Amino acid sequence: MNLLSVSNLHVNFHMKERELAALIDVSFTLNRGERIAIVGESGAGKSVLGFSIVNLIGKPGYIHSGSIKLEDKELTSMNARQLQAIRGKRIAMIFQDPMMTLNPVLTIGDQLVEAIRNHTKISYKDARSIAIEKLHHVQIASPEKRFDQYPHELSGGMRQRVIIASVLLLNPDIIIADEPTTALDVTIQAEILQLLLAICRDNGVALVLISHDLGVVSKVAERTLVMYAGQIVEEGPTLEIINDPQHPYTQGLLNALPQMTLPGQRLNQIQGSMPSLAERPSGCAFHPRCPYATQKCKQQQPDFIYSGVSSVACFLVEDMLNEFADHDQEAQ
């Protein structure tokens, strides 16, 4: 059985006049111990997806339809108390900015102990020793001293380590990391990624890494989902997606990496920008920015099809596959 299965998830934002669709028909699965990545530009709905998994989309957003199952438990129909028991205990989440994620007026120790004691009934002393052990685990030097310090006394990288320790406290099955390294500088990024990777591998924790950085994704994730305007447009093994991207959007993203250009050359970019929720284009949402767009792309939504490497929602790939199939038939 899959650890987490999201199927046909629709998330809407309820505005005054109209409903805006933030996620459209999102489906994916996550196995125990698997590491997947969700990539896309800002506004693609990555974070909304992350928050919907723990059923915490802020107003005016809400889950319109679809299901999110943790093993056999349906998360969308749970009440607040049941959800509180899942959050942190089964599914934990790491945020982008370590400066903001820790409460500035409570000590590191207070926050860690609170997280433990919120889910399990153990004494302060036991909770403290667990917290210190986890701080040690994320390679924080002299954890006993850090335990009594306030967040502002720690550096950014150290804070992100504390946050990783805090999600590990209750040995969750899934960690959702929403751009965990974006706010850190490059040298620390690599350290934190290594740490996250090692921790997931050692403890068999499944990871959902939300990122816009394909470089980061390629180091960590086994499987990658590419999102555009609230939809998944391509899904497949990370290596395949990076070496042989099928969807024009994925190709554009990869081309936009600075490594893809020679020094002195202008950086590549995808023309135009992500449409806002209110101005969603007809047909394939990517068609206004797609260099290969045809008349058909403007009118119809492409289906999700398996291309042999990855699953893609694009007419271009579909047509190509059909052509191949025709060729094969003729050859026979």
Residues that bind other proteins (CB under 8 A): 54, 56, 59, 83-89, 92-93, 95-97, 100-106, 114-115, 118-119, 149, 152-153, 163, 166
* Residue among 106 and 197 whose Cβ is closer to other proteins: 106
Name 235's bridge partners.
225, 311
Name 211's bridge partners.
39
Q: How far is the CB of 95 from other proteins (least distance, A)?
A: 5
* Residue among 162 and 284 whose Cβ is closer to other proteins: 162
* Residue among 114 and 240 whose Cβ is closer to other proteins: 114
* Residue among 166 and 224 whose Cβ is closer to other proteins: 166
Peptide bond between residue 245 and the one before it cis (omega within 30 degrees of 0): no
3-state secondary structure of 235: strand
Q: How far is the CB of 49 from other proteins (least distance, A)?
A: 14
Q: How far is the CB of 143 from other proteins (least distance, A)?
A: 15
Cα–Cα dist 115/92, whole Å: 11
Q: How far is the CB of 106 from other proteins (least distance, A)?
A: 7
Name 85's bridge partners.
none
Name 61's bridge partners.
13
* Residue among 105 and 262 whose Cβ is closer to other proteins: 105
Q: How far is the CB of 214 from other proteins (least distance, A)?
A: 24
Q: What is the DSSP string of 16-76?
A: SS-EEEEEEEEEEEE-TT-EEEEE--TTSSHHHHHHHHTT-PPTTEEEEEEEEEETTEEST
* Residue among 97 and 318 whose Cβ is closer to other proteins: 97
* Residue among 98 and 302 whose Cβ is closer to other proteins: 98
Helices (H), the chain: 46-53, 80-86, 98-101, 108-119, 124-137, 143-147, 156-168, 186-203, 214-220, 238-243, 248-255, 295-299, 315-331
- The terminus-to-terminus CA distance of the chain in angstroms comes to 40
Q: How far is the CB of 178 from other proteins (least distance, A)?
A: 10
Dihedral over Cα of 52, 230, 98, 172: its sign: positive
Q: How far is the CB of 154 from other proteins (least distance, A)?
A: 10
* Residue among 85 and 267 whose Cβ is closer to other proteins: 85
Query: How many Å is the Cα radius of gyration of the chain?
Result: 22
Q: How far is the CB of 155 from other proteins (least distance, A)?
A: 12
CB neighbour list of residue 62: distance below 8 Å, 6 or more residues apart: 11, 12, 14
In terms of Cα–Cα distance, which of 311, 314, 312, 252 is closest to 283?
314
